[in-house]
Chains A and B, each alone.
Chain A
Amino acid sequence: MKKVNKLFVGATSISLLLAGNIALAQEFRGPVRIVVPFAPGGTSDILARYIAPELSDAIGQPVIVENKAGAGGNIGADFVAKADPNGHTLLLSDLTALLAAPSVLPSVAYDIESDLDPVTMVSYSPYVLGVSNRNEFESFDELIEYSRENPGLLSVATSGVGANNHITTERLIQDQDVDWTVIAYRGGSDATRAVVSGESDMLLNGTTASLPFVLSGQMNALAVTGEERLDELPDVPTFRELGLPGELDGTYQGILVTAGSPPEVVERLQTELASILSTDDIQAKIAEQGGQARPSASPDELRAWMTEQKSELASFIESAGISQ
C-alpha cells in the first residue's frame, strides 16, 4: 500500500509540476540533452546526472544525459559545437582539458571560443600532490630539497601527455626548477597504480582518486591546490601557503552550449543552473565528489575566464614544450 501511495503522489506531483511549468516553458520545446564527452562514471558524467533531474524540473522538459566519449573530450565537444544552435544541446565537460586541447593536440575540429558559448561554471576540484610511501618525505620542502640534491632521480606520474595534471606537473617543475622524470601513464587510475606500487614516486591528481590512498596510508599527501586546505586533510598545506603561484590549480567543470543559441535560452539556462548549483543538496553531492560548486554569475563571466585561461594555457604549454 505504501508503495502505491508513493507512486500516486509522485505521479500527481509530476503532473502538477508539468502543468505549472507550461507557462514558463516557452524557451524549451522538446527534450534538452546534456552531452558528456567522457565515459559514464567519470566526474563530468556524475555531475551531469546530478543536475539533469533538477534542470528537468526547472524547465519542464525532459533532460537526457548522453555520453560521447573519445579524444580526451573533443569528440563530444565537437558534436555539441556542430549541433543545431537552439540551446537544447548542452556540453558538460572538464573545461581545462578543452581549453588546453588546441595547444596540445595537432588538430581540433572546432574552436572552443567561436563554436561554443559559455553558460556557467559548475565546479572546481582541487589537486593533491601525493608521494609514494616508499620515500619517506614528511613535507613538500623535504621533497624539493631531495630533488635538488638528486637531480633526475625522482619520477612523477601523469594521466597522459597534455592531461590537466601533466600541465600542472610541468608548472610545478618549472616553478621549483627541479629535475623530475615525467612519465605519462594511460589514464589517472594507471598513474595512481604506479605511485601506489612504488614504480613512480609521486603524482598530482584529483582528490577523488587520491584521497582513499592517502587515508589508507599508501600515499602521503604533501600539498593541495586551491585557496583553502581540504576538510579531509587539515594538516596538508596549500601550494599558496608554501609560496607557490596560483596557476598551480585543479580542474574546472562547466556547461557550454552550441554557439549562436538564442540568448534568452542561454540566460534562462544560466539562471536555472546557478540556482540548482546553489542548493545545499547539490553542493553536498558535489563535495562528495571532492569538488566545490562554482556557479558563474553570468555567461559573460565564464567567457572572460575561459579567454584568459586559454591564452595563459597556450603560452605555458608552448614554453614547457608539452605539444612537442
Chain B
Amino acid sequence: MEFLSFLDLSFFLLVGFGTLVGIIFGAIPGMTATMAVAVCLPLTYALGLNHGLALLLGLYVGGISGGMVPAVLLNIPGTPSSITTTFDGYPMAQKGEGEKALRICVIASLVGGLVSAAVLFLFAPLLADFSIKFSYVEKFLIILLALSVIASLSNSMLIGIFSGVIGVWLSLIGDYSISDGGNGHTRLMFDFMEPYLFEGFSLLPVLIGIFGISTILLEAEKGVKRDVAGERVKIGKESAFSFSIFKGSFTNLTRSSFIGTFVGMLPGVGGSAASVLAYTQEKNLAKDSSQMGKGAPQGLISSESANNALTGGALIPLLSLGIPGDSTTAVLIGAFTLQGIQVGPLFIPENHDTWYVMMTALVLANFVMFVLMFFAIKHIAKVVMVPKHILYPLIVMMCVVGAYAINYGIMFDVWTLLIFGVLGYLIQKIGLEVAPLIIGFILGSQAEVYFVKSLESFGTYSIFFTKSPIALVLWALIAASVVFAIAMGFKSRARQKMELSQMHDPSHTASGKHHDSRND
C-alpha cells in the first residue's frame, strides 16, 4: 500500500483545516462550498496533488454540511441544497430545540457522506457508465419529478401550486439564450432592465433574500424587546438529544443517502433537487409524516443525509469520466490539471495512489466534520441567544456581503437580495408559501432548458416516453407522486371536516380520534 506514505501529519491537518474552513464558508449565507474550493485552489499549486486534494475535499465536505447551521438556526439556507433543512430545522430552533436539530443534522450528514463515499469507492466506473445514459430527456423527467412534489409540500395544494408557478415565472426572467434553444431575446422585462437582468436573478441572493431577509423582517415586525431573546429560547432544555431519535429512521437514512448519491452523479441536475426529492419521498412514504414541516427530526434526516451524499455522488462522473457532477467538482478539475493529471476514464486505473488518497481524505473529512460540529454545536447554537437587536443587523450585514461576493462583486446581486427579502415578506403576509416558490424558481428554468433541448436533440414529443426504460420508470414515479399528493389532499380535507364536526358535536370525539389514528 504505497499510498499510505502520503498520509503524513500534514495530510491530516490539511483535511481538518479544510473541513473547518469549509464549514465556515457553508455556514455564512452567500458563501458556498464552490467558493471555498475556488478560493483555495491556488494554494494546491504549492501543496502538491495529494495534500492539495486533502485540503479541497475537506473544504467540499465541510462546505456542503456547513449549510445546515444557518438553515436551522436562522431559517437561511447557507446553500441551495439545505432549503429543505429549514422546513423542520427552523421550527425546532424556535421551539428551543436548535441544538438537538443540529445534532440530528450532523449525524444524518455523516451517514449520507459515508454511504456516498462507499458507493463511489465500490461502483464508480460502473455507475459512471449508467449516469452518462441520462440525456436531456431523463434529466427533464427527474426535474419534473422534483417539481411535481411541490403540491404535496404545502398545507394547501392550490396555494402550493400557485406559489410554485410564481417561482417558475420568476426563473424565466432574463435572456432566453440561444444555447438553451431560445431566441436570444430577453423575456418578462422592460428594456431598461437588460443591463442588470440579462442573466436573470442570480440564485443565491434570491435564496438568502427570500428566506433570510424576509425572516428578519417578519421578526422585526413583532417588535424587538431588548435582551429577552435569551429567556424565550431555552436551548436544549425542553427535550434533550439522544440517539434514540434515529430509531426507526434506518429506511429514511438509507433511502435519502441513495437519492443524494444518485442525483449527485447526474451532471447538471444540482443539489437542491436531491434534498427536495429525499424530503418529499420521506413525506410520502413514511408511516407518520404529519409533523413534517413543523419540526420533525425525520425531515432533517432526509434533507441532510441527501445533501451530504451529493459529495460522493458528484465525484463519480468526475473521477471516472472527467465530467463534473456539480459546480464544486468542476472547480476540482482545476486542481488536477494544475498538477498535470487528467481526470477521465483512465484516471482511476492509472493513478491508484491518488485514488486511495482521495477516498481516505473524503472519509476522513466526513468524520472530522462530524467531530467538529457535534461537539461545537453547543456553542454554535448559542447564536440564537444573542439579543436580536444585535444579531439581526449582523446577519443582514453578512447576507449583503455574501450576496455581493457570490459572483465576485456585482452590485445588482445586493439589490436582488433586498428585493427578494421584501418580496418574501409580502408573500408570507398574503398567505403564499416561500418553499414551493423557491423550488419553482430553482427548478423551473432547468426544466425548461432540458425540455427544449430534448426536443431540439430528438425532434419529437414521443421521445419523452420512448427514450429509455429509465424514462418510463421516472414517469411512473411522477404519476405516483401526483396521485399521492391528490390523495393526501383529500385525506387532510376530510380530517379538517371531521375536526370541524367534532367541534360541533362533542359526542363523536372518541370515535373520531380512533379513526384519525388509523388513518395515520
Please list the residues of chain A having a beta carbon within 8 angstroms of any beta carbon in chain B: 39-42, 45-46, 49, 65-71, 105-106, 109, 155, 160-163, 183-186, 189-190, 192-194, 196-197, 199-200, 208-209, 211-213, 215-216, 218, 285, 288-289, 324
Residue on B nearest A200 in the bound complex, by CB = B457
In the complex with contacts A46-B337, A289-B337, A70-B407 CB distance below 8 A: yes
Knowing A190-B268, A193-B267, A213-B345, say if A49 contacts B337 (CB, 8 Å). Answer: no
- B residues near A189, Cβ cutoff 8 Å: 267, 322-324
Cα of A229 to Cα of B493 in the assembled complex, Å: 72
Contacts of A215 in B (CB 8 A): 346
**A41 contacts B41, C-beta separation under 8 Å:** yes
Task: Using A183-B456, A212-B344 as known contacts, say yes or no to A39 and B337 having CB atoms under 8 A apart.
Answer: no
A186 and B340 contact, Cβ closer than 8 Å, known pairs A49-B45, A215-B346? no
With an 8 A cutoff between CB atoms, is B338 at the interface? yes
CA distance A59 to B295 in the complex (A): 59
Interface stretch, picked from B178-186, B245-253, B434-442, B476-484, is: B178-186
What is the chain A residue whose CB lies nearest that of B180? Answer: A186
**Distance (Å) between the CB of A128 and the closest chain B CB?**
13
Q: Are B199 and A40 in contact (CB under 8 A)?
A: no
Given A71-B199, A197-B132, 20 additional A-B pairs, CB 8 A: A39-B327, A39-B330, A40-B334, A41-B337, A42-B334, A49-B338, A155-B457, A183-B457, A185-B453, A186-B180, A186-B268, A186-B449, A190-B268, A193-B323, A196-B132, A196-B321, A212-B322, A212-B344, A216-B344, A216-B345
> Is the Cβ of B179 less than 8 Å from the Cβ of A160?
yes
User: What are the 9 closest A-B residue pairs judged by CB atoms, nearest first?
Assistant: A41-B334, A212-B344, A160-B179, A216-B345, A197-B132, A161-B178, A288-B340, A40-B38, A189-B323
Min distance, Cβ B149 to any Cβ of chain A, angstroms: 25
B230 at the interface (CB under 8 A from A): no
| Any A CB within 8 A of the CB of B48 | no
Q: Is the Cβ of B408 less than 8 Å from the Cβ of A68?
A: yes
14 cross-chain CB contacts under 8 A: A39-B331, A45-B334, A49-B338, A69-B407, A70-B199, A70-B407, A161-B178, A183-B456, A193-B132, A193-B267, A194-B135, A197-B132, A216-B345, A218-B345
**Which residues from chain B sit less than 8 Å from chain A, CB to CB?**
38, 41-42, 45, 132-133, 135, 177-181, 183-185, 195, 198-199, 267-268, 321-324, 327, 330-335, 337-338, 340, 342-347, 407-409, 449, 453, 456-457
Q: Which of B42, B177, B331, B457 contacts A199 (CB 8 A)?
A: B457
B323 near A106 with CB under 8 A, answer: no
Chain B: minimal CB distance from A33 (Å): 12
Q: Which of A39, A49, A192, A209 contacts B42 (CB 8 A)?
A: A49
Question: Could you tell me the distance between the alpha carbons of A49 and B342 in the complex, rounded to whole angstroms?
Answer: 17
Q: Given contacts A67-B38, A193-B321, A212-B342, is CB(A186)–CB(B178) below 8 Å?
A: no
* Contact status B337-A192, CB under 8 Å: no
Q: Are A41 and B332 in contact (CB under 8 A)?
A: yes
Please name all residues of chain B whose beta carbon is closer than 8 Å to the beta carbon of A324 when the two chains form the complex. Answer: 178, 183-184
Docked complex Cα distance between A41 and B340 (Å): 12
Q: How far apart sit A185 and B183, CA to CA, in the bound complex (Å)?
A: 16
What residues of chain A lie closer than 8 Å to B409, measured between beta carbons?
68
Residues of A within 8 A of B456 (CB): 183-184
Q: Are A209 and B322 in contact (CB under 8 A)?
A: yes
Pairwise interchain contact B330-A41, C-beta atoms closer than 8 A = yes
Give the contacting residue for B342; candidates A105, A160, A197, A211; CB below 8 A: A211
Known: A71-B199, A324-B184. A161 touches B179 (CB 8 A): yes
Query: Are B344 and A213 in contact (CB-based, < 8 A)?
Result: yes
The CA of A155 and the CA of B179, in the complex, are separated in Å by: 17
A41 to B135, CA, bound (A): 25
Nearest-neighbour CB distance to chain A for B310, whole angstroms, equals 18
Q: B42 to A67, Cβ gap below 8 A?
A: no
- A76, chain B: closest CB distance, angstroms: 9
Separation of A106 and B178 alpha carbons in the complex (Å): 10
Q: CB-CB < 8 A to A39: which residues of B?
A: 38, 327, 330-331
Which B residues are in CB contact (< 8 Å) with A66? 408
Complex Cα distance A271/B218, Å?
60
| CB-nearest residue of chain B to A49 | B42
The residue on B at minimum CB distance from A43 is: B337
Is the CB–CB distance between B323 and A285 below 8 Å? no
Contacts of B340 in A (CB 8 A): 285, 288
Q: Looking at the assembled complex, report how far the CB atom of B351 sits from the nearest CB atom of chain A, in whole angstroms.
A: 12
Q: Determine which of B42, B184, B321, B334 lies in contact with A106 in the assembled complex, contact meaning CB atoms within 8 Å.
A: B184
A163–B178 alpha-carbon span in the complex (Å) = 11
**What is the CB-to-nearest-CB distance from A81 to chain B, in angstroms, rounded to a whole number?**
14
Measured between C-beta atoms, what is the minimum distance from A20 to chain B in Å?
23
| Across-interface contacts of A218 in B (CB, < 8 A) | 345
A162 to B183, CA, bound (A): 13
**Residue in B185, B332, B335, B345 whose beta carbon sits within 8 Å of that of A212 in the complex:** B345
Of the listed residues B199, B323, B324, the one surrounded by the most CB atoms of chain A closer than 10 A to its CB is B323
A107 → B minimal CB distance (Å): 8
Beta-carbon contact of A192 and B338 below 8 Å:
no
A68 CB to nearest B CB, Å: 6
CB closest chain-B residue, reference A199:
B135
* Min C-beta distance of A45 to chain B, whole Å: 6
Report chain B residues within 8 Å CB of A42. 334
Residues of A within 8 A of B346 (CB): 212, 215-216
